[in-house]
Amino acid sequence: MSTQHNPEQKVLSAVSAAAPVATPPANRRVVVIATIVALAALALGGRMWYRSHYFVETENAYVAGHVHPVSSRIGGTVTKVLIDDNQQVHAGDVIAELDPFDQHVKVEQMQAQIFSVEQQMLQADAQIAQVQAQASAAAAQVAQSEAQLVRAKQDAERFGQLYNSQMKAVSKAELDAAVAGRAGASADLAARKDSALAAKAQINAARAARDVLKAQVAVLRVQLKDAQQQLAYNRILAPVDGRIGKRSVEVGQRVSSGQLLTAIVQENVWLTANFKETQLADLKPGQEVKVTIDALPGKELIGKVDSFAPASGAQFALLPADNATGNFTKIVQRVPVKIVFKAEDVKALSGRLVPGMSAIAEVSVKQRGAAADAKAAPASAH
């Protein structure tokens, strides 16, 4: 039985065979998405390659600054507090005052002791003058005794010449009296000389006693100066310009020597960026750094590499790792890098940039450092 074909079916079959096969819309969408993903991945990979070769970056960065602790140098009771939280102060401003009564008493006590010793010095001066007068009198008596001895010797010689075996012009008693007078004059002269020496010794002793008193006055004056300085310590002063932070002092509080009362934070801050040791090869002082502060989104600061720490952070740790142990594992170390800002940029932030804030630091390693610029300057001049 033969099959007969309809002419219309033949035409439809021919048209369908000649027409191309259309791609479903779902498959076309998949191809487009895959192409976009591939291009994005390629762009991301290219960007990562470019940044890894021409930039170094770290999120381990924090704002640092000078934080000055303010403490009391003596113990006492707080009578006045002249600061408030976050207040701006200048060097020399009074932060707080302590009760000065104890130091006042000590100053007055030292002044009274100095006055007493000075009166003793006046007595010593009078005693020296008296002993000097006695020494002068003793010296005059020595001179008188010497004259009497000369006369006694002359008398004894004359009587000796007048009374001998050939001539008896004077009696033996007169001769004996002259000889005795000479001996008495000699003994009296010796006694007078000893008295003069004793008077001189008394002068030296009186002067030594006065020197001791003078030394005591000097010691007491030093102690008085220390007492007056302790009295001045009752006024606790700001050591530098800055802002008050961590205030912990109140009126009526009993403070001890060295106790922390507050802290003063200066405005000149910088950034401490802890770069990996593998990132340091192309870093040089003088390179510009783009800094983004987490607390100031959208605000980009330009800093400059100032210097590198003399050791890695692990070396300054309280308990540094002992790499001589058998279970050693190599860990990439980080080295702190100091990055400074322009003073006008910090000032423009009006105190919003404070120590402790987190930041991100990015450095273009294709920059020349300050040393390279310094070498290039003379060459360009020639």
CATH number of the domain that residue 353 is part of: 2.40.30.170
Domain end call among 188, 211, 232: 232
Residues 184, 255, single domain; the answer is no
CA 219 to chain centre: 28
Residue 363 lies in a domain: yes
Residues 226, 243, single domain; the answer is no
Residues 249, 314, single domain; the answer is no
pLDDT at 1: 40
Residue 9 has pLDDT above 60, yes or no: no
Cα separation of 253 and 190, whole Å? 76
Domain range holding 88? 68-99+234-261
CATH number where 175 lies: 1.10.287
Cα separation of 184 and 203, whole Å? 29
Residues 182, 76, single domain; the answer is no
Strand partners, 98: 78
Q: What is the mean pLDDT of residues 353-374?
A: 80
| Residue 304 near residue 290 (C-beta atoms within 8 A) | no
Percent of residues, the chain, with pLDDT higher than 90: 43
Residue 209 lies in a domain: yes
pLDDT at 314: 84
pLDDT at 376: 52
pLDDT tens column, 182-204: 777 777 777 777 777 777 777 78
Domain end call among 217, 242, 261: 261
Map tokens 């033949």 to a residue: 10
Residues 133, 220, single domain; the answer is yes
Packed helices 172-232 and 101-162: angle between N→C axes, nearest 10 degrees: 170
Phi, psi dihedral angles at 344 (to 5 degrees): -70, -30
Residues 291, 180, single domain; the answer is no
Domain total for the chain?
3
Residues 273, 368, single domain; the answer is yes
Residues 341, 295, single domain; the answer is yes
Q: Look at residues 363, 291, 366, 368 and name the one whose alpha carbon lies nearest to residue 57.
A: 363
Q: To 5 degrees, how large is the angle CA 362–CA 368–CA 369?
A: 80
Residues 334, 211, single domain; the answer is no
Residue 210 lies in a domain: yes
Residue 49 lies in a domain: no
Residue 72 lies in a domain: yes
Residue 308 lies in a domain: yes
pLDDT at 343: 87
C-alpha distances in Å from residue 162, one per residue of 95, 99, 154: 103, 96, 12
| Residue 361 near residue 273 (C-beta atoms within 8 A) | yes
pTM check: above 0.85: no
Cα separation of 68 and 245, whole Å? 10
Residue 73 lies in a domain: yes
CATH number where 245 lies: 2.40.50.100
Q: What is the mean pLDDT of residues 259-276?
A: 94
pLDDT at 293: 94
Residues 90, 181, single domain; the answer is no
pLDDT tens column, 90-123: 999 999 999 999 999 999 999 999 999 999 888 8
Cα separation of 130 and 202, whole Å? 10
Residues 75, 143, single domain; the answer is no
Q: What is the mean pLDDT of residues 304-309?
A: 94
Residue 276 lies in a domain: yes
Residues 226, 207, single domain; the answer is yes
